[in-house]
Structure 1
């Protein structure tokens, strides 16, 4: 397995540059990595000590952010290096204010790994949720650099738990400690001999709680809402449109705010042709048009989390595709949440579905029934919203658990 991995990652390093000619996303993926070492060598100050955080994409960045903020507040003498794997995360957060250096993670070849660690020389490393790069992990272990997994999630079908997954199990030995989201993850780790774990929950709960605390009012959304029942459709895909558009186009006395996942102009234009209601776009709206509009199309990024504060009902996209988006953001405002059926990989969705405050729809007919009941029965809607908010509050403080552990052990690592 190890030989096949090394062969595969080296072939990827050779072939990926070709893919940049066929995909704009792969172009960002490849071209961004070409700059990683140049940025490191220019920005890393050898006289400073660095803590390295690695995230896959935007969702994991949001998970890691509370820990990064807590670490920087507690230990301001250390610099933070943040690496991303995916362009969808890096391109949105490359100008973040928390990290001192932000780059794409160089591919996990042995040569890249040694060069990267030689330059950075991190004093401590945090991987968020589920990024496991064997060559990085092996070399971190070789150099005795303390390494943690935060908000880890493990599933039985992962290679670690297969009879032929010894190479990947060995990589897990690099972690000094696992902070995992649930009992299932801890039991899976224990089943392969790892007892160095704590069920601390998910740091995203801390992040979404912060969002509420720091939220600023959006007067233009208040103007659009105009005391009318408002459904916010967040991070939707084409698959979601097929479900909600028939309801939207035939609704009365309801307003909709749509924040599509893909905000490329051709996608926005395509969506506009399918909406039969009076619609205004965020990028060119006039204040006087908002009160009389039925649909507000958010063709920008960065404000959806605040918009959820104005939702009477939230529909979160991705549940008809392969990746449900963040349902905790609307839930933290005490809003009932509606999703599609593909949510089994998301612990928070499973928990809220079990509570009955996150409602699953499989088609337009079910969506219509669900929306209509929530609109007609205010007590029912409020009950679901209160359950969601209570769930968020109950699951806060994962960051505190991580920081308390680090504070107890930090002297041992001689940062």
Structure 2
């Protein structure tokens, strides 16, 4: 199986180069990796001490960010190397100042692994959640580099727990320690005789908790809301928007609506605007007009949604009628009720919050209307529901400190 894995990775590398000729995203994937070694060499010398943190994409980056920030603060004499696998992570964060070097991770072939590690020479390597690359892990073990997996989540259907998954189980054993999110993950690892797992929790809860400590003010939202009740729908897909727009068009109450679609292509945004029969304005077209006169704002840009949620009295998170649910924790941290669609299986925090009652799953326009009206009419019920979300996030926070405290031994031995 290990031979087959290497063959498939090398074959994939060749195929990607061909496909990149006609696919813009794959072109970024291929061309970006050609710059990796030069970016590292320009920023890291042989004398530097290096913390290497690897995230697959933007979601994993956000998950690992609390650990990255705390290590950066505690160990300023180390340089931070941050790598991404996906363009959707790297292209967004490549100009960030959070790390000394930000680059793509070369594919997991022995030659590329050796070249990368020779240039980076990390003193400690930290992978986030699902990032388990056999050749990288074997090479790090051979170099005696302490290597950790954080916020890891394991499920029965993964290859590690299959009869044919021996080579991947061997890869797991190259980790110095794995910090898992829950007891189930630790039990699964123990079932394949991996005994270096520690339950630390999910660092995402620390990440969202930090949101409350930041300045979330948005002047346009303050002027738009103007002390009215506010409904915010974030990361919506067409299936979600159909239900929400039907409610907006029918509504006669003094409610302000914000829709932040997952897709912000101009054609799609215009479809939403055309479908709404209330006074609506696009974020990109706002001037100094009196926003309080508008009923709906369409957020047709990225990077604002988290702050927009801070103005919500209730929220809807999209994806539950489409390809996959988006982040429910970002609105939940503000202590408000959250509504989602029916497809949330596999999203642990959504499953748990649905069971607790802080997040409500709906399957129809009628249920959405009923629930939204109930939150508007019954303030005590709305606040009680939102408090469930607040309490849940507080109880789940603390993974970052747990992990960093465990890692201190590595840095002490290096100094």
Counterpart position of 1:182: 182
- Contact 2:37-2:116 at 8 Å conserved across structures: yes
Q: Is the 8 A contact 1:54 1:84 kept in 2?
A: yes
Separation in 1 of the partners of 2:74 and 2:305? 30
Give the Cα–Cα distance (whole angstroms) in 1 for the partners of residues 196 and 225 of structure 2: 50
**2:304 is aligned with 1:283:** no
For the 8 Å contact 1:220–1:287, the answer to whether it is kept is no
1:268 equivalent in structure 2: 269
After superposition, where does 1:92-111 map in structure 2 within 5 Å?
92-111=92-111
Distance 1:269 1:84 in 2: 33
Q: Indicate whether 1:16 and 2:16 are aligned.
A: yes
Structure 2 counterparts to residues 296-375 of structure 1, below 5 A: 296-375=297-376
Equivalence map 1:113-262=2 (5 Å): 113-252=113-252, 253-262=254-263
Tell me the distance in 2 between the aligned counterparts of 1:368 and 1:160. Answer: 44
8 Å CA contact 2:44–2:79 kept in 1: the answer is no
Shift, 1:131, TM fit:
1.2
Contact 1:280 1:289 in 2 (8 A): no
Question: Quick check: 2:146–2:410 contact (8 Å CA) kept in 1?
Answer: no
Alignment match, 2:379 = 378
For the Cα contact (< 8 Å) 1:129–1:149, is it kept in 2? yes
In structure 1, what is the Cα distance between the partners aligned to 2:343 and 2:332? 18
Which SS does the other structure have where 1:130 is aligned? coil
- CA contact 1:249–1:277 (8 Å) conserved in 2: yes
Cα distance in structure 2, aligned partners of 1:90 and 1:289: 38
Does the 8 A contact of 1:324 with 1:346 survive in 2?
yes
Distance 1:241 1:20, change over 3 A: farther
Describe the shift of the 1:249–1:36 C-alpha distance in structure 2 as closer, same or farther (beyond 3 A): farther
Aligned partner of residue 257 in structure 1, secondary structure = strand
Q: Distance in 2 between matches of 1:207 and 1:9?
A: 33
Higher mean displacement: 400-409 or 242-251: 242-251
Query: SS of the counterpart of 1:296?
Result: strand
Other-structure match for 1:400: 401
Rounded Cα–Cα distance in structure 1 between residues aligned with 2:32 and 2:238:
28
Q: Quote how far apart the aligned CAs of 1:202 are.
A: 0.8
Change (3 A) 1:239 1:44: farther
1:1-46 alpha-carbon deviations (Å, 9 max, x no partner) = 2222112111111111222344332232222222222222222222
Q: 1:127 to 1:226 in 2, by over 3 A?
A: same
- Kindly state the Cα deviation for residue 409 of structure 1 after the two structures are TM-superposed: 4.3
**How does the TM-score come out when normalised to structure 1?**
0.96
CA displacement at 1:342 relative to structure 2: 2.0
Could you tell me whether the CA contact under 8 Å between 1:147 and 1:177 is conserved in 2? Answer: yes
SS at match of 1:249: helix
SS of the equivalent of 1:233 reads: strand
How far apart, in 2, do the equivalents of 1:77 and 1:110 lie? 30
Query: Which residue pairs with 1:50 in the alignment?
Result: 50
TM-score, normalization by structure 2: 0.96
Q: Distance in 2 between matches of 1:380 and 1:193?
A: 47
Paired residue secondary structure (2:155): coil
CA–CA distance in 1 between the matches of 2:277 and 2:126?
48
Separation (CA, whole Å) in 1 of partners of 2:266 and 2:212 = 30
* Shift of residue 294, structure 1, vs aligned partner: 1.4
1-side partners of 2:365 and 2:23: how far apart?
33
Matched, 1:87 2:87: yes
Q: Contact 1:147/1:176 (CA < 8 Å) preserved in 2?
A: yes
Is 1:78 the counterpart of 2:112? The answer is no
**Could you say if the C-alpha distance between residues 337 and 193 of structure 1 is closer, same or farther in structure 2, counting changes exceeding 3 Å?**
same
Stretch moving more, 65-74 or 257-266: 257-266
Alpha-carbon distance change, 391 to 310 in structure 1, aligned in 2, over 3 angstroms? same
Shift of 1:239: 3.1
Check 1:328–1:164 CA distance in 2 against 1; reply closer, same or farther (3 A cut).
same
Deviation at 1:288, TM superposition (A): 2.0
Q: Deviations over 1:210-265 (max 9, x none)?
A: 11101231121011112222111111222322332222232233221111222233
| 3-state secondary structure, aligned to 2:102 | strand
